[in-house]
A and B are shown apart, each in its own frame.
Chain A
Amino acid sequence: MILPIISIVLALAKGLIPMLTASNAPAEIIADAQSAVDLFTKVHGTIVTKAQVDSLLIDPKW
């Protein structure tokens, strides 16, 4: 059940990046899409480790 969903979403997200690039979208939007793909890949590992969790934390900018 989960694997087909993951595959579809990853394919959609990956397909979104060249589409955004081709339409001259702002770099930060493309970066967001790329980071979403990266994040998704990180999040769905099988074993939870501290390094993995720490890599998901974000820092405040104000």
Chain B
Amino acid sequence: VKLLLVGMNHRTAPVAFRERFAVQDPSEFFPRLLAFEEIREAAIISTCNRIEVILLLDRDRIDWGSEWLRYEFFRQLAGDEPLPAHDSLEQMFYEHREREVVRHLFRVSASLDSLVVGEPQILGQIKDAYRIAQENKALGKVLSRIFEHAFATAKRVRHETQIAEGAVSVARVAVSLGKQIFENFEGKTALLIGAGEMIEAAVKALQVEGLSSIRIANRTFSRAEHLAAEFSGTAHTLEEIPTLLQEADVVLTCIGGDGTILDKPQMTGVAKLRRGKPLFVIDIGVPRNVAADVGEIDNVYLYDVDDLSEAAEMNAQQRREAMFLAEEIILEEEAEVTRWLSSLQVVPTIRELCATAEQIRQQEQNKTFARLDLDEQQQKAVEALTRSIVNKLLHVPLVRLRESGASEDGAKHVEAARHLFGLQHEEEERNPSEGGQGEKIPVRSTSLSSGEDS
């Protein structure tokens, strides 16, 4: 059997395409995948940034699987509306086979392939994909093992590298800075000056951290009211800012217009009235809304958009550096899984070899029994003798085959064994239907060890 992965992600396809292939509920697509006999196991990963299908296929059906996924399955996902021209769509898909699938899944789970490297959500999404595939009885021994190993690898990468450390978005950097001033944001009051998208993103991040009270001051009062309704805050005019500043713990400014709206003399007065209570000011406006020298006032901590961007970029760089170590971990883990997969490939050959030997033994034994008039005791003795000879003859080749299964040359040894012992090739053995349409397999059993693939 062979592993195949076909998919598209944020690097290969724009969101306009990805959203066409996004799967809300992968469960409804498993019957279509599992209807084919050639597909032994399957999993569907669908997130905002990627849609991927992983299949465990019969060895000779991998090309068919690739084409079927691209031209049939993904088209089904896209629905009835016309898709872009064929050529451009083809470029949006990527494909991995065999150990590349393992490496890719490990990289995705460890968040090395994410839009924001090191983001933690992807692991949960992969676990969801695993769970859904399990619920739909689409997983067998092979994919289950690979997924479980992917989770362990992701955990190892997270613990042994700095891949997930440091905020990499302006909003998260603001939260991280705030946590160096306040123990937490619970019970804290934020004053938002302006009502743009940047402010919204920062407030959402702060609200996740427990920010409770929000006041919004804006030139256009209706816009302030709209945002206040969204964040359960209160709307104010710009004239109210001096009063609001006295009660605020966090000030977020991003408002258009020339000149600053908060200057040092004004903020010095506010700081005095606040009696040393710390004030965290984030100025993400361009041009800046707060005079730079406001940061010199005791207990006032001012950061502008460049400060935040610089910190975000530095953390992103740190994560990129951590990727080298993470890739090494993934290669190590991938090698382990590949060894295991290789060891599985000898199982059908061993099974077949034993079956062939037993068949020959029985044929020859029956011929002998027909020629000689042996009593029951004598027959048992002959049977034991032939069985013993066969077992002894096969013992060393079988041991060698098992040992070589885990090595890189495993496939060559399997091939050699099949040739030497005259075993039929899998392709010759099976009589695959031309269209690939086969009998539906209701429950996925452990395909490799059960010999279904040979």
**Do A and B form a real pair?**
no
Query: Which residues of A pack against B, CB within 8 Å?
Result: none
